[in-house]
């Protein structure tokens, strides 16, 4: 039986091999990216990596990094990131991905934009031929705009579900105090067109279509690591 948790660890730790001493590192959020954060902390403790500083993509990742004694900085002092390692909910052959099921898509995209190298790590179950085949597209929305945004997203053909917390009773609230509407669209024929359309609606803060950001996608499979690089 394939151990998905082990594959996630393998993908993340492969990506950490790209980090060099002195780099500014973006730390992703989620069950795969956390393995990268832990590996960075371990290598710093061992002295294999030195003079690393990091920018986390969520409060949860920040707490994890602090527990591992990874020095954290902000964009005020380090406006550019050398490499970011983050997970994904889906990845297609173009190295485009859907992110945000962990709820950190806004900060994740902010970090992605300023990263010289943006490495996506995942297990093989996240590979799809078309985005939207398995995962919904998360859309972060200010609470005041929930109804008009939801209606607009439905007009684009989405089945819209408001994300709830783990208990399933209250709305999930992001680090920026917004809500998330998960949009189920089945396979998306034109992700770029959809991304542009979603952003046109006032009240939308950000969406989980990460198009053209990834420089690398590392997939851990039962038969080994597969590494794809953007041409």
Task: Give Rg (Cα) of the chain.
Answer: 17
Q: What is the DSSP letter of 132?
A: T
CA angle 63/67/70 to nearest 5° reads 90
Q: 14: which residues sit within 8 A by CB, 6+ positions away?
A: 121, 218, 220, 225, 227
Strands 179-184 and 204-207: unpaired
Going by C-alpha positions, the residue among 123, 112, 43, 122 that lies closest to residue 83 is: 112
Q: How far apart are CA 26 and CA 75, in angstroms?
A: 11
Q: How far apart are CA 220 and CA 225, in angstroms?
A: 5
Angle between helices 59-67 and 33-46 (to 10 degrees): 30
CB 33 within 8 A of CB 52: no
Beta sheet of 204-207, edge-to-edge order: 159-162, 179-184, 137-141, 204-207
Residue in 13, 108, 140, 206 annotated catalytic: 108
Task: Give yes or no: 108 in active site.
Answer: yes
Largest CA-CA distance found in the chain, in angstroms, rounded: 54
Q: Annotated catalytic sites, by residue?
A: 108
């Amino acid at each position: 039986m394939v151990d998905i948790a082990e594959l996630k660890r393998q993908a993340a730790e492969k990506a950490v091999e790209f980090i060099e001493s002195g780099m500014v590192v973006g730390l992703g959020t989620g069950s795969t990216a956390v393995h990268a954060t832990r590996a960075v902390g371990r290598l710093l403790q061992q002295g294999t990596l030195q003079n690393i500083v990091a920018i986390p993509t969520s409060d949860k990742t920040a707490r994890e990094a602090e527990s591992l004694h990874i020095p954290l900085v902000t964009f005020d002092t380090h406006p550019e990131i050398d490499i970011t390692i983050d997970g994904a909910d889906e990845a297609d052959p173009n190295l485009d991905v859907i992110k945000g099921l962990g709820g950190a898509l806004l900060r994740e995209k902010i970090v992605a934009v300023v990263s010289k190298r943006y490495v996506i790590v995942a297990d093989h179950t996240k590979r799809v031929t078309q985005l939207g085949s398995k995962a919904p597209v998360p859309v972060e929305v200010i609470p005041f705009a929930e109804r008009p945004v939801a209606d607009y997203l439905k007009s684009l053909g989405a089945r819209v579900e408001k994300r709830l917390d783990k208990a399933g009773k209250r709305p999930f609230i992001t680090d920026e105090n917004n809500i998330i509407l998960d949009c189920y669209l089945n396979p998306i024929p034109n992700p770029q067109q959809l991304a542009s359309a979603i952003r046109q609606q006032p009240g939308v803060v950000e969406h989980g279509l990460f198009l053209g950001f990834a420089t690398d996608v590392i997939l851990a499979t039962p038969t080994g690591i597969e590494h794809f690089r953007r041409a």
